[in-house]
Amino acid sequence: MLAAHGHNQKSSGNSRTMTGRTQDGRLLVVVYSKDPEPRSVYAITAYPLEGSGRHRYRRQNRRKNRRS
């Protein structure tokens, strides 16, 4: 789903949330859990990143790129 690794954080229960860009450049939030198979995940849902979350993601990436 996501073209590059984004921000990955723990969510409720065993699920995790990843925020990042698709190959088309859209920003998505993907909620997933680890699959029993190695190197595999189960996508629970995905939705566009909008509003303040979108602003926060862009601000964090600007800061990250300045440090490099």
pLDDT of 68 > 60? The answer is: no
Read off the pLDDT of each residue in 52-63 and give the average, rounded to a whole number: 81
1 and 22 in contact (C-beta within 8 Å)? yes
Query: How confident is the model over 28-56, as pLDDT tens digits?
Result: 999 999 888 888 889 999 999 988 888 88
Tokens of 62: 């600007």
Residues with Cβ within 8 Å of 18's Cβ and at least 6 positions away in sequence, in order, are 2, 5, 6, 7, 8, 9, 29, 30, 32
Q: Which segments of 1-68 are extended strands (E)?
A: 7-10, 15-21, 27-34, 41-48
Q: Where are the domains of the chain?
A: 7-67
Give the pLDDT score at 66.
60
Most confident listed range (2-6, 44-48, 56-60): 44-48
Tokens of 58: 């862009």
